[in-house]
C-alpha cells in the first residue's frame, strides 16, 4: 500500500508550490509510519476524498459536514477493509451520499491537501493527509444524507466559492476542470 500510494503521489502535477510542499509532506509522513492510514495514529493519518461531479461536468457534490460545520467534498478515514486510499475515497463517497452511480474518472490523484483537525473528545489535534480523487455520478439519483452530514447538495461550479472559499476546494475545482 505504501509504495502504491507514494507512486501515485509522485505522479501528481502540483498546482503551485503549496501543493508541491504538501505532496512532499505526505510522502515523508507515509515513509515515517508503518500504517499511515490508521486513524488511531495520533499525529495524523491518510484520508481519502472524492471530488464528485455530475455527468454534465457543471456541478460538484458537497456535504455540510456535521463536526466541522462547513461545506466540503465527501471523504474520510480509511478502514481496515480498505486495501488502498482510493478504496477509502470510493467507500466514503458511497456511504456519505447513498449514490450507486459513482464512477472513478481518472486513476491518478486529483489533488492533495494537508490540514489540521482540531482536538475533539480527547483525541489530540492532528493532521489529515488528504488524497483526493475525481469521480462522476448521476445528479438525478436520490441522495441519502449520512449521520456525518447535515445536508448534501449539488453546487454549480460558479457558485462553489459561495459555500467554501478554502484554497483546497478551489484547487480541486480548477484541477478537475483541466481534466475534462
Low-confidence ranges of the chain (pLDDT < 70): none
Burial of 28 (0-12, 13-18, 19+ CB in 10 A): exposed
**Tens-digit pLDDT profile for residues 130-152:** 999 999 999 999 999 998 899 99
**Tens-digit pLDDT profile for residues 149-165:** 999 999 999 999 999 99
Q: For residue 35, what are the domain limits?
A: 2-179
Q: Give the pTM.
A: 0.94
CATH code, 60: 3.90.79.10
Joined grid coordinates for residue 86? 482510493
Backbone angles phi, psi at 124, to 5 degrees: -65, 160
Q: Report the domain count for the chain.
A: 1
**144: Cβ contacts below 8 Å, ≥ 6 apart:** 97, 98
Amino acid at each position: 500500500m505504501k509504495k502504491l500510494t507514494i507512486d501515485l503521489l509522485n505522479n501528481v502535477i502540483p498546482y503551485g508550490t503549496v501543493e508541491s510542499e504538501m505532496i512532499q509532506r505526505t510522502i515523508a509522513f507515509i515513509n515515517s509510519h508503518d500504517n499511515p492510514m490508521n486513524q488511531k495514529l495520533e499525529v495524523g493519518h491518510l484520508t481519502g476524498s472524492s471530488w464528485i461531479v455530475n455527468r454534465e461536468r457543471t456541478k460538484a457534490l458537497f456535504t455540510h459536514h456535521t463536526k466541522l460545520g462547513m461545506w466540503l467534498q465527501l471523504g474520510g478515514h480509511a478502514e481496515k477493509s480498505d486495501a488502498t486510499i482510493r478504496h477509502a475515497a470510493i467507500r466514503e463517497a458511497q456511504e456519505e451520499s447513498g449514490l450507486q452511480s459513482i464512477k472513478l474518472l481518472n486513476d491518478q490523484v486529483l489533488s492533495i491537501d494537508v490540514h489540521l483537525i482540531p482536538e475533539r473528545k480527547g483525541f489530540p489535534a492532528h493532521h489529515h493527509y488528504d488524497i483526493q480523487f475525481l469521480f462522476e455520478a448521476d445528479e438525478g439519483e436520490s441522495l441519502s444524507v449520512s449521520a456525518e452530514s447535515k445536508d448534501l447538495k449539488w453546487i454549480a461550479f460558479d457558485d462553489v466559492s459561495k459555500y467554501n472559499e478554502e484554497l483546497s476546494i478551489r484547487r480541486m475545482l480548477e484541477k478537475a476542470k483541466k481534466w475534462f
